[in-house]
Amino acid sequence: MIRRLALLINLLLVVGTAHWSFLNAPMAVAPTQVASRSKAPKVIPFELVNRHIIVPVKVNNSRPLSFVLDTGDQVAIVNLETGKQLGLKLRGHVPVGGAGAQLQTGAFVDDANFVISGFDGFTQPLRLALPLNQLSPRLGQDFDGIIGGEFISQFVVEIDYKANVLRLHDKTDFVYSGPGEAIPIKLVHGHPILEAEVTPIGRAPLKGSFVLDIGAGLALALYSPFVTQHGLLNDIRTIRLMGGAGAGGETVGRLGRVSQFKIGKFVLDEPLTLFSQDKAGAFASTSLDGNIGARIARKFRVFLDYNRSRIILEPTSAFEQPFNEASAGVDFIAEGNDYRTFRIIGVLENSPASDAGLLKDDVIVAVNNQSAKELTLSRLNDLFEQPVVRKLTIRRGDSTLEITITPRRLI
């Protein structure tokens, strides 16, 4: 009998989002294999790219691949095109929808496993192949797949953003001792759901249910039914969402701030917030009120303890840092085989970018005389979040221009 499975992949790449769900027949579940356990955790280095945790993996002895660790995902997924290139056994059709109304098609994967580089003795099945190619230009590198809840549930996964490592603790013997707080969660289709409190500007606090989504690049996203129900866009200053395109098509909304967001005992002041205006798709969901993304998660050492239905948040030195990143008001993607061609795809009105005269389809050739070939998309995003004067060399058609821009806080 056909049954409904939900798969949520919340990837806010810069501010773009790909949020998936699908309808399919039951999947055969092969067992995960884990090497003999020890008290010392296994340490897995990761690369942080545009606030996404990139883990090096191989699939069936393939070339090295880049997979994103994402609590907004349940099973291991390979990019559909990568799966074809690797000659994986793909079966059936999986209709996929996302944070827009556009549908795409994926497939089941048979007889394929992934291993993590440096983690001898561990292997886990790939379950699905989904179309992820369109996300690579926003990540700024190849996007080969995702690992999520099925992997996380084998351990207590400690995410140390300061050291750029994962520590995989034995889930049975793990004992926490530290200044953090344990937050109860419910696992819904492998996704950690927690209760939190949002305080709109000039309003009383509102309680809600949120998914902890380390694959989401913003701090906080509030779903459109929650926004509409509470009139959250009334009488607050917002700007248009830039880059809200993902695998499910365009997503629309406004960026603003709430006065506070509270998780357990931790109070975060004025986090940058997406107020969704989607009419369909994941961000129009009525089953959740929003998600908590990487800009909040990275203020903590995060322990994902699914076995005990909890997460542990331990504040780091980043906790006291305000959400005051500057913005250039420009949206760009990385193109070319090396992802070093940075093309502007949107310019926000009344922003440093529009004031400087930047236009859609301009190509950034250099920043402060440093060639774009020496930069990454992640580094470029970092530069444009600092309130520092930048001299840009721009290619516009057949012309080359010199433009000066100073990012600033917009909201």
Same domain flag for 306 and 335: no
- pLDDT value of position 113: 97
Among candidate residues 392, 379, 378, 388, the one with its CA nearest the CA of residue 347: 392
pLDDT > 70? residue 103: no
Tell me whether residue 411 is in a domain. no
- pLDDT value of position 95: 81
Question: What three-state secondary structure class fits 57?
Answer: strand
pLDDT digits (tens, 9 = 90+) for 184-197: 999 998 899 999 99
Same domain flag for 362 and 269: no
Question: What three-state secondary structure class fits 14?
Answer: coil
Same domain flag for 277 and 339: no
Count the neighbouring beta carbons within 10 Å of the beta carbon of residue 48. Answer: 13
Same domain flag for 340 and 211: no
pLDDT > 70? residue 245: no
Same domain flag for 344 and 303: no
pLDDT digits (tens, 9 = 90+) for 22-33: 444 445 445 555
Question: What three-state secondary structure class fits 149?
Answer: helix
Residue by residue, DSSP assigns 297-319 as HTTEEEEEEGGGTEEEEEE-GGG
Among candidate residues 328, 379, 337, 386, the one with its CA nearest the CA of residue 356: 328
pLDDT > 70? residue 329: yes
- pLDDT value of position 107: 96
Total of domains in the chain: 2
Same domain flag for 206 and 339: no
- pLDDT value of position 232: 97
CATH code of the domain covering residue 400 = 2.30.42.10
Structural domain of 198: 1-324
Same domain flag for 350 and 217: no
pLDDT digits (tens, 9 = 90+) for 120-142: 889 999 999 999 988 899 999 99
Tell me whether residue 373 is in a domain. yes
Q: What is the mean pLDDT of the segment spanning 76-100?
A: 87
| Mean pLDDT (the chain, rounded) | 88
Is the model more confident about 105 or about 89? 89
User: CB–CB of 138/50 below 8 Å?
Assistant: yes
Please say which residue of 309, 324, 339 terminates a domain: 324
Q: How confident is the model at residue 281 (pLDDT cuts 50, 70, 90)?
A: confident
pLDDT digits (tens, 9 = 90+) for 169-217: 999 999 999 999 999 999 998 899 999 999 999 999 999 999 999 998 8
Please say which residue of 287, 302, 324 terminates a domain: 324
Among candidate residues 67, 102, 33, the one with its CA nearest the CA of residue 249: 102
Q: How confident is the model at residue 250 (pLDDT cuts 50, 70, 90)?
A: low
pLDDT digits (tens, 9 = 90+) for 227-242: 999 999 998 999 988 7
Same domain flag for 278 and 234: yes
Largest CA distance in the chain: 64
CATH code of the domain covering residue 37 = 2.40.70.10
Structure tokens at 1: 């009998």
- pLDDT value of position 283: 85
pLDDT > 50? residue 316: yes
pLDDT digits (tens, 9 = 90+) for 147-167: 999 999 999 999 999 999 999
Q: What percent of the chain has pLDDT over 90?
A: 77
- pLDDT value of position 249: 55
Please say which residue of 324, 351, 367 terminates a domain: 324
- pLDDT value of position 376: 96
User: CB–CB of 182/176 below 8 Å?
Assistant: yes
Same domain flag for 188 and 237: yes
